[in-house]
C-alpha cells in the first residue's frame, strides 16, 4: 500500500482521516496539529522524555518516533481515549490527591504509562513501577509523588475488590 | 515524499530495488529522530512495521535461535530468548525505556550499526549470523564481516536484514553496560561475556570503545592458556583483574561528548573482570 497525501488512522476507536499533511509527519504532530488531540505532549521529539506516550496496538510507544503514515494499520489510543472529559480516572484522581502533578507537562504521558502498566500488571513491585515509568521524564516531582500516586491507585483498586 | 507500508517482505524488497533513494523504517527510533530534526529528507520511506514474517522467533535447527529483524526488544527481553540467549535478553532490557523497547529491534541496531548499539556486542560474542535478502537473492553473513565501521556495514542499498541466528551456548553469559544512569542511556562502555562450557572457553566483545564492536581474541586466548574454563572452574580475583586489564588494552576508545577514552578503558577493565567472576562464581 502506498499512502500519499491522504490516509486514515484508527485513533481512540474512531476512523480519523488525515488531510493536508506532509506525509513524513510524526504521529505526535498529526495527533496534535491535524486531529485536534492536544493531550499528547511534545517536548524532546527524540524518544527521550515520554511526554508523547500513546498506546499503539496495546504497546506504550513514543508518538514522536512513529511516522504517522506508517501507522495506518494500527490501533492508536491517546490519553483522551483512556480518560474522559466528565470525570477523572482513578489514576488521575490519585495523581491529584498525592500531588504528583506540578507543572503538569509530563502528566499525560505518565497517565498513559501508568494505566498501561496496571492493565498488564495489577500489582507491580516498586522496581516494576520504576522500570515501567523509566521512559517518562518529570523534572518537577522527583518521582516520589508519582510513585505515591501509583501506590494509592493500586490500594484503591484492591479495596474495591 | 512517498510512504510505502509493506505487508509482505517481497513488496518491500521490490520497492527498495525500484527506489534508489528509499530509506527503510522499522521501529523508527533512529530514523524518526533524524527526520524530526530535519537532518535527513528522504523522498521514499518503506515501512517494515506490518511485515509479520520479520517478527517471528524460530528454532528450526537444533542449537540455533533465529530472531526476526523486526522483533521488538520488549519481546526479546522475555521467553524464549531469556532462557536460550540470556545475554541478549539482558542487553535488550538495557535499551532506552519501555517505549523505546516496544519499537526498537535487532534490524534497527544492525541497520544503524552504531558502536553503542546494545545488542551488537552480544552478536559479536556469540558469532551471530545475519540474514539479508534482496528481491532476487539471499545471503548469510557473519556479524564480524557485517559491521565495518562507525555506522557502516556491508548491507547494500537493495538489501533488507531479515533475521539474526544466535547459537545456543551451554554456560553462563551476561551483558553489562556503563552509562550516566540506569534508564534511557546510551552506553559509555559495554561488554558481553559468554562462557562456553562445552568448548571450555570464554568469549568477550566490547561496545562503545572503538569504531566497531571489538572482540578481544588475545585476551580470550590468554585466558584459555592460563585457566581451566570448564563448568565449575575457580577464577581467582587476581586472574580476573588481569583479564580485565588485557581486555581494556584491546579496546580503542576515544574522547567524545559522552566520556573520555581513559574512563572508558577503566570501565572496560572493571566490566570484563566482573563478568568473568560472575561466569565462574
Same-domain check for residues A64 and A98: no
Q: Stretch A30-50: mean pLDDT, rounded?
A: 96
Same-domain check for residues A73 and A107: no
CA distance B131 to B113: 15
If you measure CA to CA, which chain B residue comes closest to A54?
B99
**A54: helix, coil or strand?**
strand
Give chain B's contact residues with A (Cβ, < 8 Å): 1-7, 25, 27-29, 32-33, 35-37, 42, 45, 47, 49-50, 72, 74, 96-100, 102-103, 182-184
Domain assignment of residue A23, yes or no = yes
The torsion angles phi and psi of B28, rounded to 5 degrees, stand at: 85, 0
pLDDT at A115 over 90: yes
The total number of structural domains that make up chain A:
2
ipTM: 0.94
Q: Which CATH number fits domain B173-279: 3.30.390.50, 3.40.50.1220, 1.10.150.120, 3.40.309.10?
A: 3.30.390.50
The torsion angles phi and psi of B179, rounded to 5 degrees, stand at: -155, 180
| CATH number of domain containing A21 | 3.10.20.30
Strands, E assignment, chain B: 2-5, 23-25, 44-47, 57-58, 64-68, 129-133, 138-142, 147-149, 152-153, 160-167, 173-178, 189-196, 201-207, 214-215
Query: How far does the CA of residue A116 sit from the closest CA of chain B (Å)?
Result: 11
Same-domain check for residues A129 and A156: yes
Same-domain check for residues A55 and A95: no
Tell me if A67 and B2 make a contact (CB, 8 A cut-off): no
CA distance B266 to B270: 6
Q: Measured on CA atoms in the order B175, B163, B219, B229, is the torsion positive or negative?
A: positive
Helices (H), chain A: 27-29, 79-82, 90-97, 107-120, 126-132, 144-160
A26: nearest CB among B32, B97, B100:
B32
Same-domain check for residues A73 and A110: no
Domain assignment of residue A85, yes or no = no
* pLDDT computed for residue A4 by the predictor: 53
Tell me if B3 and A22 make a contact (CB, 8 A cut-off): no
What pLDDT, in 10s, does the model give residues A43-78?
Answer: 999 999 999 999 999 999 999 999 999 999 999 999
Contact present, A51 and A112 (Cβ < 8 Å): no
Domain limits for position A62:
7-78
Same-domain check for residues A94 and A120: yes
Domain assignment of residue A103, yes or no = yes
Q: Which of B85, B114, B106 is nearest to B213 (CA)?
A: B114
Q: Final residue of a domain: which of A44, A78, A112?
A: A78
Tell me if A46 and B2 make a contact (CB, 8 A cut-off): no
CA distance A123 to B275: 33
Q: Which of B77, B79, B121, B80 is nearest to B100 (CA)?
A: B77
* Residue A67 at interface with chain B, using a CB cutoff of 8 Å: yes
If you measure CA to CA, which chain A residue comes closest to B12?
A1
**B273: helix, coil or strand?**
helix
Same-domain check for residues A105 and A53: no
Mean pLDDT, chain A, as a whole number?
95
Query: How far does the CA of residue B22 sit from the closest CA of chain A (Å)?
Result: 13
Mean pLDDT by 10 residues, chain B (281 residues): 96 97 96 95 96 96 96 98 98 97 98 97 98 98 98 98 97 96 90 96 97 98 96 95 98 93 97 98 92
Same-domain check for residues A13 and A73: yes
* pLDDT computed for residue B184 by the predictor: 85
* Residue A103 at interface with chain B, using a CB cutoff of 8 Å: no
Cell numbers for A15, please give them: 476512523
Same-domain check for residues A70 and A105: no
Question: Which residue, chain included where needed, has cell 559522552?
Answer: B258
Same-domain check for residues A133 and A104: yes
Which CATH architecture group holds B2-167? 2-Layer Sandwich (3.30)
CA distance B203 to B92: 19
Alpha carbon separation from A126 to B29, B95, B196 (Å, rounded): 28, 20, 35
**A142: helix, coil or strand?**
coil
Chain A partners of B49 at a C-beta cutoff of 8 Å? 70-71, 73-74
Tell me if B33 and A47 make a contact (CB, 8 A cut-off): yes
Domain assignment of residue A2, yes or no = no
Domain assignment of residue A1, yes or no = no
| CATH number of domain containing A140 | 1.10.150.120
Cell numbers for B131, please give them: 540474514
The torsion angles phi and psi of B36, rounded to 5 degrees, stand at: -55, -35
Distance of CA B39 to the CA centre of its chain: 25
Contact present, B188 and B259 (Cβ < 8 Å): yes
Q: What is the DSSP string of B8-47?
A: SHHHHHHHHHH-TT-EEESS-TTHHHHHHTTS---SEEEE
* pLDDT computed for residue B60 by the predictor: 83
* pLDDT computed for residue A1 by the predictor: 45
B3: nearest CB among A23, A56, A62:
A23
* pLDDT computed for residue A160 by the predictor: 79
For chain B, domain boundaries:
2-167, 173-279
Domain assignment of residue A51, yes or no = yes
CA distance B95 to B271: 18
Domain assignment of residue A120, yes or no = yes
Percent of chain A scoring above 90 in pLDDT: 92
Q: How confident is the model at residue A3 (pLDDT cuts 50, 70, 90)?
A: very low
Strands, E assignment, B56-182: 57-58, 64-68, 129-133, 138-142, 147-149, 152-153, 160-167, 173-178
| Angle B267-B270-B273 from CA coordinates, rounded to 5° | 145
* pLDDT computed for residue A122 by the predictor: 96
Contact present, A105 and A139 (Cβ < 8 Å): no
Domain assignment of residue A117, yes or no = yes
What does DSSP say about strands A2-3 and B2-5: parallel, antiparallel, or unpaired?
Answer: antiparallel
DSSP-assigned beta bridge partners for residue B50 = none
Cell numbers for A11, please give them: 485513533
Amino acid at each position: 500500500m502506498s499512502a500519499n497525501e491522504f490516509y486514515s488512522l484508527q485513533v481512540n476507536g474512531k476512523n480519523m482521516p488525515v488531510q493536508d499533511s506532509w506525509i513524513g509527519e510524526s504521529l505526535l504532530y498529526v495527533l496534535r496539529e491535524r486531529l485536534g488531540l492536544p493531550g499528547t505532549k511534545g517536548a524532546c521529539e527524540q524518544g527521550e522524555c515520554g511526554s508523547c506516550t500513546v498506546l499503539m496496538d496495546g504497546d506504550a510507544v513514543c508518538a514522536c518516533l512513529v511516522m504517522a503514515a506508517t501507522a495506518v494499520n494500527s490501533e492508536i489510543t491517546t490519553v483522551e481515549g483512556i480518560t474522559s472529559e466528565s470525570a477523572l480516572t482513578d489514576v488521575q484522581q490519585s495523581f491529584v490527591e498525592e500531588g504528583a502533578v506540578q507543572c503538569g507537562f509530563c502528566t499525560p504521558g505518565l497517565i498513559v504509562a501508568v494505566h498501561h502498566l496496571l492493565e498488564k500488571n495489577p500489582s507491580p513491585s516498586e522496581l516494576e513501577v520504576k522500570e515501567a515509568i523509566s521512559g517518562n521524564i518529570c523534572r518537577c516531582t522527583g518521582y516520589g509523588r508519582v510513585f505515591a500516586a501509583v501506590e494509592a491507585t493500586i490500594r484503591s483498586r484492591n479495596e474495591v475488590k | 515524499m512517498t510512504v510505502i507500508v509493506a505487508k509482505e517482505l517481497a513488496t518491500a524488497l521490490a520497492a527498495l530495488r525500484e527506489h534508489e533513494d528509499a530509506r527503510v523504517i522499522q521501529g523508527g527510533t533512529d530514523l524518526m529522530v533524524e527526520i524530526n530534526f530535519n537532518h535527513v529528507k528522504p523522498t521514499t520511506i518503506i515501512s517494515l512495521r506490518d511485515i509479520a514474517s520479520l517478527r517471528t522467533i524460530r528454532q528450526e535447527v537444533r542449537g540455533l535461535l533465529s530472531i526476526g529483524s523486526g522483533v521488538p526488544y520488549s519481546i526479546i527481553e522475555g521467553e524464549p530468548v531469556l532462557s536460550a540467549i540470556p545475554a541478549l535478553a539482558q542487553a535488550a532490557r538495557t535499551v532506552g525505556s519501555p517505549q523505546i523497547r516496544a519499537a526498537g529491534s535487532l534490524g534497527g541496531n544492525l541497520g544503524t550499526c552504531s558502536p553503542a548499539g546494545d545488542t551488537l556486542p552480544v552478536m559479536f560474542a556469540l558469532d551471530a549470523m545475519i540474514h539479508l535478502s534482496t528481491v532476487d537473492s539471499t545471503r548469510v553473513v557473519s556479524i564480524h564481516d557485517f559491521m565495518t565501521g562507525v555506522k557502516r556495514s556491508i548491507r547494500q542499498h537493495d538489501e533488507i536484514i531479515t533475521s539474526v541466528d544466535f547459537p545456543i551456548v551451554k554456560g553462563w553469559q551476561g551483558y553489562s553496560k556503563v552509562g550516566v544512569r540506569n534508564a534511557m542511556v546510551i552506553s559509555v562502555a559495554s561488554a558481553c561475556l559468554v562462557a562456553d562450557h562445552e568448548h571450555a572457553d570464554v568469549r568477550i566483545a566490547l561496545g562503545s570503545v572503538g569504531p566497531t564492536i571489538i572482540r578481544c581474541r588475545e585476551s580470550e586466548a590468554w585466558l584459555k592458556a592460563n585457566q581451566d574454563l570448564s563448568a565449575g572452574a575457580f577464577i581467582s580475583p587476581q586472574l580476573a583483574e588481569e583479564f580485565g586489564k588485557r581486555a581494556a588494552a584491546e579496546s580503542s576508545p576515544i574522547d567524545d561528548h559522552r566520556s573520555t577514552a581513559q574512563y572508558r578503558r577503566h570501565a572496560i577493565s572493571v566490566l570484563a573482570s566482573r563478568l568473568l567472576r560472575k561466569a565462574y562464581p
